[in-house]
Amino acid sequence: MALHDIRLKVNGVEYTAQVEPRLLLVHLIRDVLGLTGTHIGCDTTHCGACTVLLNGEPVKSCTVLAVQADGGEVLTVEGLERDGQLHPIQEGFREEHGLQCGFCTPGMMMSAYALLQQNPNPTEEDIRFAISGNLCRCTGYVNIVKAIQYAARKLHPPQ
């Protein structure tokens, strides 16, 4: 199978790689680049654990080919933290107990990040819709919603 040269930016860092055309983006991120915060849950787009942002849009990286990201920009959960400081979304999940086992957490955080980029003051309904493609088998979503509300308040304090 012929390899393809791809170039992409992940969490602000430029990478080049030679990949098989069938390599999934999630495997490029985890196995080639060593960024294991993005989880593999189902390989069928049902769970959302592998959600990352590709060119600013949330995608389930288990169904995107790495070659489709060529020339693009990817943000993973590792890219949220800056200069040793947790992003407000990460802080919110900690402060509001928005995680239990943590398996769904990276995908939830990336879906929340995308939401807050588009809608700085989401309603509970907006939040629940934004994370509806992500499954959590532990928390019942109440504290996840609270965590995202925490982040929204921190990022955009009420005037």
Same-domain pairing of 137 and 97: yes
CATH number at residue 67: 3.10.20.30
User: Whole domain around residue 93: which residue ranges?
Assistant: 88-155
Tokens matching residue 152 = 């929204």
Number of domains in the chain: 2
Same-domain pairing of 39 and 106: no
What type of residue is 20?
E
Same-domain pairing of 28 and 92: no
Q: What is the pLDDT along the chain (159 residues), one digit of tens a residue?
A: 799 999 999 999 999 999 999 999 999 999 999 999 999 988 788 999 999 999 999 999 999 999 999 999 999 999 999 999 999 999 999 999 998 899 999 999 999 999 999 999 999 999 999 999 999 988 789 999 999 999 999 999 877
CATH number at residue 148: 1.10.150.120
Same-domain pairing of 105 and 147: yes
Contact indicator for 106, 37 with CB cutoff of 8 Å: yes
